[in-house]
A and B are shown apart, each in its own frame.
Chain A
Amino acid sequence: MLKDITIGQYFPGRSAVHSLDPRFKIIITGVFIGMLFAADGFAALAVGLVFLAMSFIMSKIPFRLMLKSLKPIVPIIIFTSVLNIFFLDGAPLVKFGFIKITAEGLRTSAFMVIRIIALIMGSSLLTYTTSPITLTDAIERLLSPLKKINLPVHELAMMMTIALRFIPTLIEETDKIISAQKARGADMESGNILQRAKALTPILIPLFVSAFRRAEELAVAMECRCYQGGDGRTRLRQLRSEGKDYFALGVSIVFLDIVIMLNCIFG
C-alpha cells in the first residue's frame, strides 16, 4: 500500500531532457519560474507554456504522470480560483445578492490557475527526469560557492543524500512491519481516532528501533571507509557540462527575454 508513494518520483528514461546536466536543469527550471512570474499578460504566459510544452514533449514523460503530479495541489487551485473569482472588484457580470462575478475576476483567476499548474508541472518535470541523488549532487555543486562563508554545503548535501537514500528503505521496512503485524491480526482500519493511534504502536516502535539500528550501522560503515567530510573528496560521477547544456540554457533565456519583451509591448 505504501509502494504507491513516489518520493523523488524519478521516471527513468533516456530522453534529451533526462541527459541534460542536472545543474543546468535546476538553473533552467529557475529561469522557467522566472518566466511565469515575469509574465504580465496571457500572451507572455503563453510563451512560458510553449517552453513547458517543448520540454515536456522532449522528455517523453507520459502525460498521465504529469497529471498525477497535479493531484496534491487541486485544493490550492480551487481555493485560488474561487478567491479570485468572487473577491475581485470591478464591473459585475453576474450578481446574486452579495456575490458578484466580474470579468477581471474571471481573467485573474484563469491566469493564476494556469500559472500555478505550469509551475508545478515545470518543477515536476525536473524531478521526473532527474534522480534524487543526481539532484543532490547538482545542488551541492551549485551551492559550493557558499563554502566561502563557512556554510557546511557538503555536509548538508550528504544529509540530503542519506535521507533520500533511506526513504525507500524505510518505506519497504514499514510495509514489512505492517504486513507482519497484520498477519498477527493487528487491526488498523477500524475504530475511532484514539484506537487507530494506539494501533500504530506495533508499527512505530519496530520502525524506530530499526531506523536507529540502520543509522548506527551506516555510521560504522562510513567510518570504516575513513569518511571525514567533504575536504579533498573526489566524485565517482563527475558532472560535466556539454554544448547541449549551454544550448538548452540559452533557449530558456531567449524565452525569458521574449516574455519580458511582450510585457513591455503590452504593458
Chain B
Amino acid sequence: MASIIRTEDLTYTYSIGTPFEKTAVNKVCLDIEEGTFSGIIGHTGSGKSTLIQHLNGLIKPTSGKVFIDGQDIWDKEVRIRDIRFKVGLVFQYPEYQLFEETVYKDIAFGPKNMGLTDEEIDRRVKETAELVGLKQETLYKSPFELSGGQKRRVAIAGVMAMEPKVLILDEPTAGLDPKGRDKILGQIKEYHRQKHITVLLVSHSMEDIAKFADKILVMNKAEVFCYEDTPDVFKRSDELAGIGLAVPQITKVFLDLKKRGIDIRTDVYTTEFAKKTILEYLERKGGAVNA
C-alpha cells in the first residue's frame, strides 16, 4: 500500500533565538499507510500536537519535509488549502470553535469553503450529522444551546463533512464521561470502516488506543519512540513503562502474572482477549473450564 502521510526529518523549533527556544519535534520520519487507524500516544509536551499540525500545513517545519499523497505540501505548486481539505484536523476541545447561528450552518462551514454545490453540502451535513448521532431537529438549533458532548459532536461532524482522506483527532474524548467517550470513538471507528480513510487518533488513554487502533505511534521527548502494530507495541510494555507511559490496566495484570512465574503471554490489551488468554492458559494447565 502507498503511504498517504510521509515525513522526512521533520523538525520544528519554537521561539528560535529567545530563552524560550524549544525543539518540539525532532527529526521525525514517518510512513503512514493509507487506510490505517493509528493511535498517537505520548506525554504532555512530547510533541504530538505539534506533529499533527504539520500534517495539514498549519505549521511550517523548521526543517524537513511533509508529503501528503506523495506531494510535498510546501512545494510552490501546491495550494495549502487543498491539503487542509484532504487532511481534516479536529483540535482538542473543538467545541470552542463553533460560531454559526445554527448547527447546520456550522457543519456546512468546511464544505462551503471547499466550494461545493448546495445539494452536495446538504447531503454531507445530513450524513455526517447522522453518523455522529445528532438528531435532525438539532440541526436547526443554535450550537450554543447544546450540551458539551453534543457540541463536541457538532465540531467533529464539521471536519468529517469535508470528507477528508485523512482524519486526525487530537484528544477527541478529553473531558467526556466514559459513555460519551466510547460513543464518540465508536462513531469514529464506524466512519473509518465506512469510508476507508486514514485515521490518526491522539489520546492519553492507552485503553482507548488499544481498543481502536491498528498501529500505535509512541512519541517521547520530541522524537518517535516507535511506530508499530498495536500488539507489537504492547510487547514492549517494559520499555513503555520506562518512558513513563502506563500500559493498559489489563496488560499490567498479565505482566504481573508473568512476574510471579506464571507462563502466560503479555501482549494482552483488551478484556475480550484477556478472557480468551486466561481460558487458554487454564486449558493448557489441564484445569476444568466452564465458562
Contact = CB atoms under 8 A, between A and B. Distances in A.
A169 interface: no
A14 to B, nearest CB: 11
Contacts of A3: 14-15
B126 to A, nearest CB: 18
A184 B144 contact: no
B56 A183 contact: yes
Contact of A183 (B15, B19, B89, B144): B89
Contact of A185 (B53, B99, B113): B113
A180 B15 CA distance: 21
Given A182-B84, A185-B113, A11 B91 contact: no
B83 to A, nearest CB: 10
28 contacts: A3-B14, A3-B15, A12-B19, A179-B53, A179-B58, A179-B91, A180-B91, A180-B96, A182-B84, A183-B56, A183-B58, A184-B97, A184-B110, A184-B113, A184-B158, A184-B162, A185-B85, A185-B109, A185-B113, A186-B109, A186-B113, A202-B97, A206-B96, A206-B98, A206-B99, A209-B96, A209-B144, A210-B96
A176 interface: yes
B14 to A, nearest CB: 8
Nearest to A205: B99
B15 A181 contact: no
Given A206-B97, A209-B96, A210-B96, A185 B91 contact: no
Interface residues of B, number: 26
B96 A177 contact: yes
Interface string A1-42: 001000000011000000000000000000000000000000
Interface of A: 3, 11-12, 173, 176-177, 179-187, 201-202, 205-206, 209-210
B19 A177 contact: no
Query: Would you call the interface of chain A mostly helix, strand, loop, or mixed?
Result: helix
Contacts of B56: 183
Given A12-B19, A180-B91, A180-B94, A185 B58 contact: no
B106 to A, nearest CB: 9
Interface of B: 14-15, 18-19, 53, 56, 58, 81, 84-85, 88-89, 91, 94, 96-99, 109-110, 113-114, 144, 158-159, 162
A264 to B, nearest CB: 45
A206 B58 CA distance: 19
Contacts of B114: 185
A6 to B, nearest CB: 9
A42 to B, nearest CB: 35
A177 B97 contact: yes
Contacts of B99: 201-202, 205-206
